[in-house]
Structure 1
Amino acid sequence: MKIGLYFGTFNPIHIGHLIIANHLAEYSDLDQVWMVVTPHNPHKQKHTLLDDYQRLHMVHLATEEYGKIKPSDIEFKLPQPNYTVNTLVHLKEKFPANEFALIMGEDNINSLHKWKNYEYIIENHDVYVYPRLKSGNIDPQFVNHSKIHWVDAPVIELSSTFIRESIKNKKNIIPMLPAKVWEYVEHNLFYRK
């Protein structure tokens, strides 16, 4: 099975995340997409970041009706701070029959060379890159790389930061969140301050 790993804080998960994940699950050679919830770095003060398990719960709520999209807490169990290469090695040991690929926005591809052991990552794992409006010039080493796949997914310019700010400012953001995520956020009064 070929699994795409879509990393994020998902604070909160929104329809943009789901549109990209579903597009890759339906229109690429990936069998599943795992939404990998990135844990809170204990060394960073991040007042707006909800608890790891609250964010994971929102991902569960958002993906329960998608057969090919699964929530993952795999990084919760790894030593922090964690690096993507460590997650990939851990997953390969835990699920040796599966092939793992990375999913990232075009705006992130230019920083890939700064990742720990990025050469190992792109030698051993496919990378699926979805378009973003603000991406700049692409590093030439990644343009025609055999392991990097440019995906013609919808361009979604919606951010969790915008959603949190909108909630704080009492704006109606119901269309931006899956219904069950909105109910959970509203019930718990998240992002109000």
Structure 2
Amino acid sequence: MAARLTSQCYLASFRTLRRYKGQLSGKDITLKICEKPTLSTTSTEARENHSKYDWIGPPDPVSNIRRVHFRVSENEAPYERRLREERAKVQEWSHQFWKKHNTSFVQLKGEFIKQKLAKKSASRETTMANITITPDEMSEFYKKFLDDNYEVHKNYNWEWYKKNISLTWLTLKANLLNIITRRNKGNK
């Protein structure tokens, strides 16, 4: 008995980026977007549906990354498998980065709030009922956090660009090999 992710899903169809740049050429893409995945057993039909689409899950509660469960074709070629595995690696790398980053952000924000509240409660001019942190005071924290993490964000962006350029090259290679393979099958 096979297991798969099930949830309330819908299909999202769209054209590639070329459509938005005014060109009419492009490739139709259909993705199955799912909101609350759960593990369940599947029928043959469900397994076929699973292999037709990439599944996009809900945002991770910590990293806020919507994880993609990449489809595995029955007759997946080695170059297609490599592309799928590399895409999964890049997604996992990004997920781990944002998970660590967001955990740090929440922790530092909590410490900042505690310090501000302690400082205000020690002041005699405020009553316990009036202790709040203003948006201007929070903006101090946000600015400091962004300044402290400037290099981290810059390095992440450069790595992300490099990884995505690599994926673009693998995608181009896989698509060209698919075209060649289809032409060779058509000539036989």
Where on the TM-score scale, by shorter chain, does this alignment land: which range? under 0.3
Structure showing greater relative contact order (alpha-carbon pairs closer than 8 Å, 6 or more residues apart): 1
| TM-score of the superposed pair, with normalisation by structure 1 | 0.20
Q: Which has the larger radius of gyration?
A: 2
